[in-house]
Chain A
Amino acid sequence: MVLVKAKRDELLGPLSAVSGIIERRHTLPILSNVLIDRGAKALSFLATDIEIQITSGTPLEQSGEAHAVTVGARKLVDILRALPDGAEVTLQQQDKRMLVKAGKSRFSLQTLPAEDFPRLSKPAGEVTRFSLEQKTLRRLLGLVQYAMAQQDIRYYLNGLLMLVEDRQLKLVATDGHRLAFASMALEVDLPRQEVIVPRKTVIELSKLLADTEDEVRIELSATQAALSFGSVELVSKLVDGKFPDYTRVIPTQHKNTLTLDREVLRQALLRAAILSNEKFRGVRWVLSDGSLKIVSSNAEQEEAQEELEVTYSGDSLDIGFNVNYLLDVLNNVPGRSVECSFGDSSSSALVTYPSEQNFKYVVMPMRI
């Protein structure tokens, strides 16, 4: 029974979109498979790791009988990639095998029944629905996602806070040492909704969102999120936990402020970082009237110093930071200049961008 006959690229596109989340090693063998679902007018691929599920389809011209089967995703991707561009590919079920045919190439893959494939249900119960442009969400995620924790025992930090309140969408990511916040106005009034989207979902989403004005429709319930855009539908479980109160740690009273050219600062930090301690990555900021010195030294007592002329008339300060936390924000958030403000040497610093009014980055100092 022929499932589909199509150009290689028409299959490879949606298949690659879904197969990124498949874990290499899994306790359930069927999870390394992709579900191929032949509907009346479309063919869709579906992959899951139990936490996230992605579906992506391609419309079909010929109508056919509905049928579904699962095969090893990685092998199918590898086979399709290795076929020549523009090859005509036939996927065909024969007994318990799936045949992949193209030109004079034939592959026979083992299958597992589609009925056994685990599926995530769409968000149910009280669901908040809204939509925005794909490129807007993509940009917003880019402003904050690098600050998410990774495998932290505080599991609720291994994700992104997505908060709908006061006609705004707010995104917050933190690993407990630094925090990134971004927001945007929503056109509709929605009830307050607060969810934590798992790290893996956020990263996958950033990869899949396109730089277009086409919309992404978002549905949030207390336990699941669904995002649909283009031919992709992504359903994800949410992190069940309480995100810390981020409003408490964004400073509002810092008076010691200076404005720097982002690229000049970034280059100076990159150079200073070379001689910072490999493990702790500390750099000292020594601020005095009209001058910022960035100083670092490593375990071998080698030292680097960068001096920047700045307009600064605040308190003299000597404050240490993990240089990676500073480079993260400068690398990920574009803009001509950045504004840094400080309290004293033991309080957090605030990084903002004149060109990004709805973005804030907070970083804690380190003792050096």
Chain B
Amino acid sequence: MSAARRIAHLDMDAYYASVELLRRPELRGLPLVIGGGRGLARLADYSGRGVITTATYEARAFGLRSGMSLARAAALCPQAVLLPADFDEYRRVSRLFKAAVARIAPQIEDRGIDEIFIELSAHGGDEREAARSIKAAVREATGLSCSIGVAPNKLLAKIASELDKPDGLTMIEEGDLAPRIWPLPANRINGIGPKAGEKLAALGIRSIGELAAADRALLMRRFGAGTGAWLHDAAHGRDERALVTEREPKSISRETTFERDLHPRRDREALSAIFTRLCEKLAEDLRRKGYRGRSVGIKLRYDNFQTLTRDRTLESHTDDARAIRRAAGECLRRAPLERRLRLLGVRVGSLAAAGEAADLFG
């Protein structure tokens, strides 16, 4: 029996900022951005180098966007309120909304802290009703709104969830491709980033419709056979990817950009403390997610933005902060340390699910 596939993409609206507003309702209605490192502040008073992780819709009205540097944001909207990110809280609320959805539709692909794909094929015919009850359940569990797109596949569902934000519900059928998807800019397709966008623009392709009308062979020549074919398929709304309901991470990492560039020798103490803290946080992440890793790597970004990584493999899997710190320290000694550092990151890879019984047939 091959019933039509119906996949929903659920995206929480202005997620971090919305979670903050739950706790600080007095900030409602003000332009609010999440980012930076310290307490509540006016954006105008911010002098660091952080970026916006989320902006409320009020802040977006001033042109503020996630990913924008806070310095630039302060120039555009100095009166905006700035709050530091509280990832522990965002993760807690994330678990709440995912559990609420799972009670209605258990097959879920986790796409991160604020978005999921949901299998709705079994709700044949009444996915709109299912999506409505999911929205209601999310609101009841968290007090937050989300936007849902329902479509025959993941690609279109992801595009659809963006069409009516915030608090939207958009249904896309096969026949909606030309009237509703084709007029959209090509970069609405998840996977077409700035570079591919520029390359397409150079070919005179700006909308998804223009991409669909483009010569497949030409796309395959310009972008390589795989990417070219994918671009063309995507523009035609073709996407057969299954939901990945169990995702095994390849590595888990933590990184931080310093308030000011630090010199490996002159700021040795400060750097060492930050380094140790990163490893402790990372070990906590590993334990919380239930993994141990056998490879430890570091990432350095120098003041000239040059980035470098070093890795080493351990004797056995670990989730111990000291073991990670030791290995990361050894990696650091193999890196040139003449320039000032801007960013430091630690990564643990070659993961094994900790504490899982060994495999009988392995």
Q: Which residue from chain B places its CB closest to the CB of A299 in the assembled complex? A: B287
Interface residue A368 (Cβ < 8 Å from any Cβ of B) = yes
Contact B122 A177 (CB under 8 A): no
Complex interface: stretch among B24-32, B41-49, B165-173, B350-358:
B350-358
Is chain B's binding surface mostly helix, strand, loop or mixed?
Answer: loop
List which A350-368 residues lie within 8 A (CB) of chain B.
362-368
Contact B1 A177 (CB under 8 A): no
Nearest chain B CB to A308 CB, angstrom units: 22
| Known A28-B1, A50-B1, A279-B290; contact A177-B121, beta-carbon cutoff 8 A | no
Contact B354 A280 (CB under 8 A): yes
Interface residue A346 (Cβ < 8 Å from any Cβ of B) = yes
Interface residue A198 (Cβ < 8 Å from any Cβ of B) = no
Q: A27-B125, A364-B359, A366-B356 are in contact. List 14 more A-B contacts (CB 8 A).
A: A23-B122, A25-B122, A26-B122, A27-B121, A27-B122, A176-B361, A248-B361, A280-B355, A280-B356, A321-B357, A325-B357, A362-B360, A365-B357, A365-B358
Q: How far is the CA of A25 from the CA of B105 in the complex (A)?
A: 10
Interface residue B3 (Cβ < 8 Å from any Cβ of A) = yes
Nearest chain B CB to A3 CB, angstrom units: 29
Per-residue interface assignment for chain A, residues 142 to 159, with 1 indicating a CB less than 8 Å from any chain B CB and 0 otherwise: 000000000001000000
Per-residue interface assignment for chain B, residues 336 to 362, with 1 indicating a CB less than 8 Å from any chain A CB and 0 otherwise: 000000000000000000111111110
List which B306-356 residues lie within 8 A (CB) of chain A.
317, 354-356
Q: How far is the CA of A178 from the CA of B359 in the complex (A)?
A: 8
Identify 5 residue pairs between A and B in the complex whose beta-carbon atoms are under 8 Å apart, listed by A's number. A177-B360, A279-B290, A280-B354, A364-B360, A366-B356
Interface residue B240 (Cβ < 8 Å from any Cβ of A) = no
| Known A27-B1, A153-B246, A280-B290; contact A174-B360, beta-carbon cutoff 8 A | yes
Nearest chain A CB to B87 CB, angstrom units: 19
Q: Which residue from chain B places its CB closest to the CB of A31 in the assembled complex? A: B1
| Known A27-B3, A27-B124; contact A178-B356, beta-carbon cutoff 8 A | no
> Of A50, A153, A176, which one neighbours B359 at CB under 8 angstroms?
A176
Contact B355 A177 (CB under 8 A): no
List which A1-50 residues lie within 8 A (CB) of chain B.
23, 25-28, 50
Q: Chain A, interface size: which category?
A: 20 to 34
What is B's interface to A at a CB cutoff of 8 Å?
Answer: 1, 3, 121-125, 246, 287, 290, 317, 354-361
Contact B359 A177 (CB under 8 A): yes
| Residues in chain B near residue A282, CB distance under 8 A | 355
Q: How far is the CA of A27 from the CA of B1 in the complex (A)?
A: 9
Q: How far is the CA of A176 from the CA of B353 in the complex (A)?
A: 15
Q: How far is the CA of A50 from the CA of B358 in the complex (A)?
A: 35
Interface residue A54 (Cβ < 8 Å from any Cβ of B) = no
What is A's interface to B at a CB cutoff of 8 Å?
Answer: 23, 25-28, 50, 153, 174, 176-179, 244, 248-249, 277, 279-282, 299, 321-322, 325, 346, 348, 362-368
| Residues in chain B near residue A364, CB distance under 8 A | 357-360
3 closest Cβ pairs, A-B complex = A280-B355, A27-B124, A27-B3
| Residues in chain A near residue B359, CB distance under 8 A | 176-177, 364
Nearest chain B CB to A298 CB, angstrom units: 11
Q: Which residue from chain B places its CB closest to the CB of A250 in the assembled complex? A: B360
| Known A27-B3, A50-B1, A153-B246; contact A177-B124, beta-carbon cutoff 8 A | no
| Residues in chain A near residue B361, CB distance under 8 A | 176, 244, 248-249
Contact B358 A177 (CB under 8 A): yes
Q: Which residue from chain B places its CB closest to the CB of A362 in the assembled complex? A: B360
Contact B355 A249 (CB under 8 A): no
Q: Which residue from chain B places its CB closest to the CB of A321 in the assembled complex? A: B357
Contact A178 B3 (CB under 8 A): no
Nearest chain A CB to B130 CB, angstrom units: 9
Nearest chain A CB to B97 CB, angstrom units: 21
Contact A177 B356 (CB under 8 A): yes
Q: Which residue from chain A places its CB closest to the CB of B358 in the assembled complex? A: A364
Nearest chain A CB to B280 CB, angstrom units: 15
Q: Which residue from chain A places its CB closest to the CB of B359 in the assembled complex? A: A176
Contact B358 A25 (CB under 8 A): no
